[in-house]
Amino acid sequence: MINKLTDRARTRAMRLGLALLAMNAASGSPAAEPAAPCYLGPSALAAAPDGSLLYVACADARQLVWVSLPDGTACRHVSLPDRPSGVLCTPDGRQLIVTCAAPASTVILLDAATGDTLRALPAGHTAVGPAWDARRGRLYVCNRFDNDVSVFDVLAGVELTRIPVAREPVAAALTPDGRTLVIAHHLPDARTDLERFERIAAGVTLCDTRTLATRVLALPHGASGVRDVCLTPDGSYALVTHVLSNFTNVPFRVDMGWINVNVVSLIDLRRPRLLGTMGLDELQRGAANPWGVAVTADGSHLCVAVAGTHELCIVPTSRLLNERARRSMSPLPGAWPVYPSLGTSLWQRVALSGKGPRGVAVVGSTAYVAQYFSDSLAVVDLQAATEAAVRTIELGPTPEWTQVRRGQLLFEDATICYQQWQSCASCHPDARGDGLVWDLMNDGVGNPKSSKSMLWSHRTPPAMAQSARETAEDAVRSGIINILFSHRPEAEAAAIDAYLKTLEPIPSPHLRDGQLSDAAQRGRRLFESEAVGCHRCHPAPLYTDCRTHSIGTAQSPRFNNRYDTPTLVEVWRTAPYLHDGRYRTVYELLHEGRHGLAAKAAETLTEDDLRDLAAFVLAL
Ligand code: HEC
Ligand code: HEC
């Protein structure tokens, strides 16, 4: 089972060793002052087992911040090599493990008492969701964009193996007996032109840690934008936060959860199955974009950070496990929320003190919530959970938001939507696509389109698959009116534009040390050859000619057959492909779809040639 480390990994480990020395020298001192406003961006946190400290991963500042409790003083800042995406404290309270996300991520092991770095282990692309098995000294880390999970022997400092899993693992939790690793996947991974016949949903992988055998449990049809998973203390149940999209409804209204509802799915781990999915929304008040989830150590309460409405939802766990309550809290497509037997929500919703709550940690009966945009923590007493009782721990000076920062906040903010049902990020999580199709009414009805990535939208007009909007600016403004059912000041749309214009492509996980693989290089030659000529419509550097073409991909003769050429940059993360998502992979698009292969010479390409072409496109 033990993989030999590749030369590449060994070189990285050595490089990290050197970086480590430098970091130790700098440990405790603040990060160098960048010219732009320096946000902290607290997004994940963990508590010391004795409840005396919180360790807060500040993604934007690339720091881990120690906060002493109960006074809430930020007493130590340790610089990290990349954006920290997850943090845990070992049960003996002595060590901290931080995943630092990058195309070549690092897992940092720190001494909890001194802040010194003990080890730095190389991991995969965008490491996140660390889970620790104290008994075996094993650490599991999700590599979000490699679609696998690293297994480390931490004492020996080696990566034992990688477990291949489904698309975009973003969070993981281990049962107390160390036997089952529960891995939550961010997006569905299905073709979407068959939505009426198959389940299209993100899933949860259960991995047997002894055999490394995996099985996937699908979340309900329409599950997307999965953010977090936690277990009840006895390890019997897993709770998963996500959006549940009624994507087969024509979105002519947003109330009653017509477009998106916001839920927690409950998985029975003893007889592995999806037990139920519970709505967080109320009849006239959505709870958009659930993010972090945690259970109190006594198992009595569940807490969910609601990122889009800046709230914490609290529910007694006994209610979740109660069959009758569960039935009455399950979203019914298009008629939700009805709470037939109860008439009212079981959740208590508490308004927090800052914006963009993400990670949650619970100490005793107090919940601490990382407020990403406010550079602070909210402190909620679960016994007396009223708005007035919410306290704030400031991690730094109150941030002054630039237009770009405000734009990101607005993009993720459901309070600008009618009744707070959804934010732009509900269908464009992380400003990309949600892996689903929507029948927006801007170009007729009966022709659903994949949700699009926002990357380079403003640079590559027209907007929408059939150029229903001339520019991304138009699309942003019509989105606010027609999808959020809202009227907002122009300055807010301008801020969203400003934010979306700053999006940068993430280097592809298919690159090898930042370079094209041999296959991708062969693919590039074909792509740019006169005979194949993909570059005629997809010219570098944007990989789109910003024009529409009629290439025989219409859904039905009823509809216009001209489609906007999409950029191919980051196409590795935007499956499924074509405007209606009819292909799950780029290879299928070329092999079955014969996309772009109409020319005589292209007809003769072999399967290997098509694999090479796909390898190139996926490396962009
Ligand atoms: C219900 C899901 C949903 C919501 C909510 C949503 N969008 Fe979209 N968005 C889509 C879909 C689907 C498309 C692609 C439609 C098409 O190709 O015709 C799209 C396309 C776009 C595009 C065009 C991208 C391009 O390059 O062509 C922009 C810009 C955009 N959305 C911005 C926003 C903004 C801003 C918000 C919030 C105000 C928002 N969207 C909310 C589903 C959604
Ligand atoms: C005549 C112009 C044209 C040529 C030539 C062309 N494409 Fe395209 N490409 C398009 C258009 C238009 C679309 C969108 C079609 C749709 O959504 O129905 C597209 C879509 C794609 C997509 C899917 C992107 C997504 O996000 O869904 C990929 C991948 C792609 N092309 C790769 C290639 C490759 C590889 C070649 C060469 C073999 C090629 N294209 C040749 C116009 C072209």
CA distance 475 to 471: 7
Whether the CB-CB separation of 171 and 165 falls below 8 Å is answered with no
Query: Which residue ranges does the chain devote to CATH 2.130.10.10?
Result: 1-28+41-126
Alpha helix (H) ranges present in 267-341? 317-320, 323-328
**For residue 186, pLDDT beyond 80:** yes
Span 346-363, average pLDDT: 94
Share of the chain above pLDDT 70, in %: 91
For 24, half-sphere exposure in the C-beta direction (CA atoms, 13 angstrom radius) is 14
DSSP state of 442: B
pTM above 0.95, yes or no: no
Q: What is the CATH topology of the domain spanning 518-618? A: Cytochrome Bc1 Complex; Chain D, domain 2 (1.10.760)
**SS3 of residue 230 by DSSP:** strand
Span 378-407, average pLDDT: 90
Mean pLDDT lowest for which of 7-16, 89-98, 100-109? 7-16
Span 110-139, average pLDDT: 96
What single-letter amino acid sits at 424?
Answer: C
406-501: CATH class = mainly alpha
Task: Indicate the top mutation candidate among 248, 416, 438 to test ligand 1's pocket, ranked by most ligand atoms within 8 A of CB.
Answer: 438
Is residue 304 in contact with ligand 2, taking CB distance under 6 Å? no
How many beta carbons lie within 10 A of that of residue 177, not counting itself? 10
Is residue 566 in contact with ligand 2, taking CB distance under 6 Å? yes
Mean pLDDT lowest for which of 77-86, 276-285, 295-304, 409-418? 276-285
Residue nearest to atom 36 of ligand 1 (CA): 424
Is residue 127 in contact with ligand 1, taking CB distance under 6 Å? no
Is residue 578 in contact with ligand 2, taking CB distance under 6 Å? yes
Which ligand has an atom closest to residue 485 CA? 1
The pLDDT assigned to 334 comes to: 52
The pLDDT assigned to 284 comes to: 85
Condensed to tens digits (0 to 9), the pLDDT of residues 551-606 reads: 888 777 777 788 999 999 999 999 999 999 999 999 999 999 899 887 777 778 99
Which ligand has an atom closest to residue 455 CA? 1
pLDDT confidence bin for 149, thresholds 50/70/90: very high
Is residue 57 in contact with ligand 2, taking CB distance under 6 Å? no
* Secondary structure (DSSP) of 450-511: EPPP-TTGGGS-SBSTT-SBSSHHHHHHHHHHHTS-----HHHHHHHHHHHHT--PPPPTTS
CA distance 500 to 169: 24
**For residue 10, pLDDT beyond 60:** no
Which ligand has an atom closest to residue 614 CA? 2
Q: How far is CA 331 from CA 88, 279, 340, 567, in A?
A: 33, 6, 11, 36
Condensed to tens digits (0 to 9), the pLDDT of residues 403-435 reads: 999 999 999 999 999 999 999 999 999 999 999
Residues comprising the chain, all counted:
620
**SS3 of residue 589 by DSSP:** helix
Alpha-carbon dihedral of residues 130, 133, 139, 145, nearest 10 degrees? -40
**For residue 341, pLDDT beyond 60:** no
Condensed to tens digits (0 to 9), the pLDDT of residues 23-61 reads: 444 444 444 444 556 899 999 999 999 999 999 999 999
pLDDT confidence bin for 517, thresholds 50/70/90: very high
Q: Is 25 exposed, middle or buried (0-12, 13-18, 19+ CB in 10 A)?
A: exposed
The per-residue pLDDT of the chain, averaged, comes to 90
Identify the CATH homologous superfamily for domain 1-28+41-126.
YVTN repeat-like/Quinoprotein amine dehydrogenase (2.130.10.10)
The pLDDT assigned to 289 comes to: 98
Query: Which residue ranges does the chain devote to CATH 1.10.760.10?
Result: 406-501, 518-618
**Ligand 1 centre from 513 Cα, in Å?**
33
Is residue 358 in contact with ligand 1, taking CB distance under 6 Å? no
